[in-house]
Each structure stands twice: as structure tokens, then as C-alpha cells.
Amino acid sequence: MSEPLRIRVQRQGEGAEIRILMPHPMENGLRRDDAGKLVAVHYIQTFTLKQNDRPLISGQLNTSVSRNPLFVFKARQIKSGDTLSVHWTDNKGAARQDAIKVE
């Protein structure tokens, strides 16, 4: 399984800034290895951010996103004690889900 996602929340009044770092190689299929062979395409296809099991944001990615992508979102009504969870799946069928409690 891949490295854990890093989810950080900075509350700002009624809202919050949510930062998500998704460790992933995000290979676009155009890079060559040391032997000169193309590295296979490998990227996150879909992700979902949930607040207390309610979908907050969902998205689709493609090969143009850099390795270990960092996403920043602003949201309202994020309170102490809420659970934020992120789930992603990639083009090879791998998946990862991590969650945090907002302090």
C-alpha cells in the first residue's frame, strides 16, 4: 500500500483551508527509465473528500498532474470534531483512504 495521505486543516472563522498531499508517482507514460524503456502510465484517476461521510469534493485527474500532488480547498462549516476523509483510486486499481478529526 502507498504512503498515508497528509491532510491538514487550518480553521479560519466559519470556514477552513484544507490541504491534502497525495503521495503517488503520477507517471504520464512519456518518461524513460535508466535503460531507455518507457515507464508505464500510473496516475490517480479519482478522489473524494468527505466531511462526516458526506461528499464535499470529488474530482478526476489525468496524466498531466505532477508527482505527489498537493490540493488546497476552502470550505465552510468545518467544525472541531468533524471527520475529514479522502479516498483515491488509480488507473492500476490501487486505492487509498485516510481520515483525520478536525481539532
Domain ranges in the chain? Answer: 6-101
Chain-wide mean pLDDT for the chain? 96
Residues 6+ apart with CB under 8 A from 11: 78, 80, 102
**Cβ-count burial of 36 within 10 angstroms (0-12 exposed, 13-18 middle, 19+ buried)?**
exposed
State the 10-residue block means of pLDDT for the chain, 103 residues long: 90 92 97 97 98 97 95 95 97 97 95
pLDDT value at residue 14? 83
- pTM equals 0.91
pLDDT value at residue 1? 54
- 6-101: CATH class: mainly beta
Helix (H) or strand (E) segment spanning residue 9 = strand 6-12
pLDDT value at residue 62? 94
pLDDT value at residue 2? 76
